[in-house]
Structure 1
Amino acid sequence: MTERTPGKQIHLAAHFPGVNSTTVWTDPRSRSHIDFSSFQHLARTAERGLFDFFFLAEGLRLREHKGRIHDLDVVGRPEALTVLTALAAVTERLGLAGTVNATFNEPYELARRLASLDHLSAGRAAWNVVTTSDAFTGENFRRGGYLDLAERYTRAAEFLATARELWDSWTPDGRQRPFAHHGRHFAIEGEFTVPRSPQGHPVVIQAGDSPEGREFAASAADIIFTRHGTLEAGREFYADVKGRLAAYGRDPDDLLIMPGVSYVLGDTAAEAQEKAAEIRRKQVSPQNAILALEQVWGVDLSAYDPDGPLPDIDPDPGSELVQGRVKITDPFAVAAKWRALSEAKGLSIRQTVIETTARQSFIGTPDAVAAELAEFVARDAADGFILVPHLTPGGLDDFVDRVVPLLQERGVYRTEYRGATLRSHLGLREPAGKG
Structure 2
Amino acid sequence: MTRRRVHLAAHFPGVNNTTVWADPRSGSQIAFSSFAHLARTAERGGFDFFFLAEGLRLRELKGRIHDLDVAGRPESLTVLSALAAVTDRLGLAGTVNATFNEPYELARRLATLDHLSGGRAGWNVVTTSDAFTGANFRRGGFLDHADRYERAAEFVRLARRLWDSWEPDAVAADREAGVFVRPGSIGEVEHRGRHFSIRGRFTLPRSPQGRPVIIQAGDSDEGREFAAAEADVVFSRHGGLAEGKAFYADVKARLARYGRKPHQLKIMPAATYALGDTEAEAAENAAVIRRQQVSPQTAIAFLEQVWGRDLSGHDPDGPFPAVEPDLSSDLSQGRVAIKDRAGVAARWRALAEEKKLSIRELVIEVTGRQTFVGTPQSVARQIDEHVQAGAADGFILVPHLTPGGLDDFVDRVVPLLRERGAVRAGYTGTTLREHLELE
TM category, shorter: over 0.9
Aligned match for 2:162, one of 146, 159, 166: 166
The equivalent of 1:241 in structure 2 is 251
The equivalent of 2:153 in structure 1 is 157
Instruction: Please list the CA deviations of residues 151-195 of structure 1 after superposition, one character each: whole Å capped at 9, or x if unmatched.
Output: 011111111111111111112222211110100000000111011
Paired with 1:352 and 1:40, the residues of 2 have a C-alpha distance of: 36
The equivalent of 2:65 in structure 1 is 69
Paired with 2:373 and 2:156, the residues of 1 have a C-alpha distance of: 38
Aligned match for 1:296, one of 306, 315, 329: 306
Q: TM-score with structure 1 length normalisation?
A: 0.95
8 Å contact from structure 1 (residues 42, 393) kept in 2: yes
Q: How far 1:243 moved relative to its partner?
A: 0.8
Paired with 1:311 and 1:381, the residues of 2 have a C-alpha distance of: 38
Alignment of structure 1 residues 33-432 onto 2, 5 Å: 33-74=29-70, 76-174=72-170, 175-429=185-439
Paired with 1:62 and 1:308, the residues of 2 have a C-alpha distance of: 29
8 Å contact from structure 2 (residues 306, 344) kept in 1: yes
Paired with 1:346 and 1:299, the residues of 2 have a C-alpha distance of: 22
The equivalent of 1:25 in structure 2 is 21
Paired with 2:246 and 2:370, the residues of 1 have a C-alpha distance of: 15
| Paired AA for residue 333 in structure 2 | Q
Greater CA deviation, 317-326 or 361-370?
Answer: 317-326
Greater CA deviation, 173-182 or 412-421?
Answer: 173-182
Unaligned runs of 5+ in 1: 430-435
- In structure 2, the CA distance between the partners of 1:229 and 1:407, relative to structure 1 (3 Å rule), is closer
Query: What SS class does the counterpart of residue 394 from structure 1 fall into?
Result: coil
The equivalent of 1:433 in structure 2 is none
Q: How far 1:359 moved relative to its partner?
A: 4.4
Q: How far 1:350 moved relative to its partner?
A: 0.6
Greater CA deviation, 163-172 or 13-22?
Answer: 13-22
8 Å contact from structure 1 (residues 230, 360) kept in 2: no
Unaligned runs of 5+ in 2: 171-184
8 Å contact from structure 1 (residues 17, 390) kept in 2: no
What is the root-mean-square deviation of aligned Cα atoms in Å? Answer: 1.3
8 Å contact from structure 1 (residues 56, 99) kept in 2: yes
8 Å contact from structure 1 (residues 265, 365) kept in 2: yes
Paired with 2:438 and 2:363, the residues of 1 have a C-alpha distance of: 39
Q: TM-score with structure 2 length normalisation?
A: 0.95
Paired residues in the alignment total 425
Return the structure number with greater relative CO, CA threshold 8 A, min gap 6: 1
The equivalent of 1:432 in structure 2 is none
Instruction: Please list the CA deviations of residues 39-79 of structure 1 after superposition, one character each: whole Å capped at 9, or x if unmatched.
Output: 00000000000000000000111111111112233354211
Q: How far 1:229 moved relative to its partner?
A: 4.8
8 Å contact from structure 1 (residues 6, 411) kept in 2: no
Paired with 1:330 and 1:416, the residues of 2 have a C-alpha distance of: 47
Query: What SS class does the counterpart of residue 13 from structure 1 fall into?
Result: strand
Q: How far 1:417 moved relative to its partner?
A: 0.5
